[in-house]
């Protein structure tokens, strides 16, 4: 059977792509964030995952306010990106792992999760940037399965629901009849808000506590209401739901988890830039 080898968590701020495209990753403003990634690149080079399940949120590319699924999964042969104009102009298409996609769809429906299945799907910066941060040459050595979570339009799924969704994904991956190694990536956040009276909101204390909980008590955030989580991290910071889904998948394995690396830097484009790597025993 397939095996989940770990979690990677990272911010997906669009301006990261601009820094990459313009060769500014070692500028003083960006260097503390980009310096968090060599340990992750070394790790993926050593463990060599075959598939990355990318848990992220769409920014109006596939879904908009008139049609916003709570959970959606890509089931396509390939995924091209359509950048919003802030970041990497174009990347090579990502090859999809179609067999795993359909296995996830079938298993999640069997576990009574109502999902949208996308046999055509574009991916935006929330998927392309984390992949480029791990494989900066952008010659993708892995296949992907995109998993999209609504973090944009209320009512949002609760943290508890997202964690359970991740656990169901984890069970499905490890029941997949394959010998492939699967990395589950959660992207977005951490704390930030881009509009309204709280524009520029950051909450370092909460971010650090949340990151600590991912190893010490992964269900910690699930005991807080979605409204209180938004108050803590901001309207865009609620992208931490993506992290919870990814962590739930690793939790479902029942194996010990150890933190190998983290970095945290404020701010990158008015956002708390966070990076974290967890490995499954």
| Pairwise CA distance, residues 97 & 101, whole Å | 6
| Contact (Cβ atoms closer than 8 angstroms) between residue 144 and residue 54 | yes
Mean pLDDT of 4-27: 93
What pLDDT sits at residue 244? Answer: 98
CA dist list (Å): 245 to 17, 48, 78? 24, 22, 23
103 is catalytic: no
Q: DSSP character for 239?
A: G
Is residue 90's pLDDT more than 90?
no
pLDDT value at residue 227:
96
pLDDT tens digits for range 169-222: 999 999 999 999 999 999 999 999 988 889 989 999 999 999 999 999 999 999
Token readout for 70 is 């709570």
Q: Which two tokens stand for residue 193?
A: 């808000």
Q: What is the mean pLDDT of residues 136-159?
A: 97
Residue 90 or residue 130, greater confidence: 130
Length of the chain: 281
Taking Cα atoms as reference points, which of 156, 176, 149, 165 lies closest to residue 50? 176
C-alpha–C-alpha distance, residues 153 and 161, integer Å: 16
pLDDT at 88 (0 to 100): 74
Q: Given the residues 103, 125, 201, 265, select the one marked as catalytic.
A: 125
Domains of the chain are 3-280 (3.40.830.10)
What pLDDT is recorded for position 179?
A: 97
Question: What pLDDT shows up at residue 87?
Answer: 66
In angstroms, the CA 98 to CA 120 distance is 12
- Please identify which of the residues 12, 103, 192, 201 carries the catalytic annotation: 192
* Interval 238-267: pLDDT, tens: 999 999 999 999 999 999 999 999 999 998
125 is catalytic: yes
Q: What's the mean per-residue pLDDT of the chain?
A: 95
Query: How many other CB atoms are found less than 10 A from the CB of residue 254?
Result: 9
pLDDT band, residue 85 (cuts 50/70/90): low
């Amino acid at each position: 059977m397939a095996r989940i080898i770990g979690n990677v968590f990272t911010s997906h701020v669009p301006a990261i792509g601009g820094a990459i495209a313009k060769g500014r990753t070692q500028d003083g403003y960006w260097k503390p964030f980009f310096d968090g990634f060599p340990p992750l690149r070394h790790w993926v080079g050593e463990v060599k995952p075959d598939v990355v399940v990318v848990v992220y949120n769409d920014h109006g590319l596939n879904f908009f306010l008139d049609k916003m699924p709570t959970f959606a999964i890509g089931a396509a042969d390939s995924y091209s990106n359509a950048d919003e104009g802030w970041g990497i102009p174009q990347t090579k298409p990502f090859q999809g792992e179609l067999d795993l996609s359909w296995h996830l769809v079938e298993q999640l429906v069997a576990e009574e999760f109502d999902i949208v299945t996308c046999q055509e799907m574009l991916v935006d910066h929330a998927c392309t940037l984390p992949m480029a941060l791990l494989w900066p040459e952008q010659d993708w050595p892995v296949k992907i399965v995109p998993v999209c979570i609504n973090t944009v339009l209320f009512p949002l799924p609760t943290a508890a629901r997202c964690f359970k969704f991740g656990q169901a994904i984890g069970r499905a991956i490890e029941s997949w009849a394959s010998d492939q190694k699967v990395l589950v990536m959660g992207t977005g956040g951490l704390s930030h808000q881009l509009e309204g009276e709280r524009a520029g909101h950051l909450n370092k204390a909460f971010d650090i506590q949340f990151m600590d909980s991912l190893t010490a008590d992964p269900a910690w955030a699930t005991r807080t209401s979605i409204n209180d989580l938004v108050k803590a991290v901001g309207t865009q910071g609620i992208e931490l739901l993506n992290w919870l889904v990814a962590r739930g998948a690793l939790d479902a394995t029942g194996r010990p988890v150890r933190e190998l690396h983290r970095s945290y830097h404020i701010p990158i484009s008015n956002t708390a830039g966070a990076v974290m790597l967890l490995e499954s025993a």
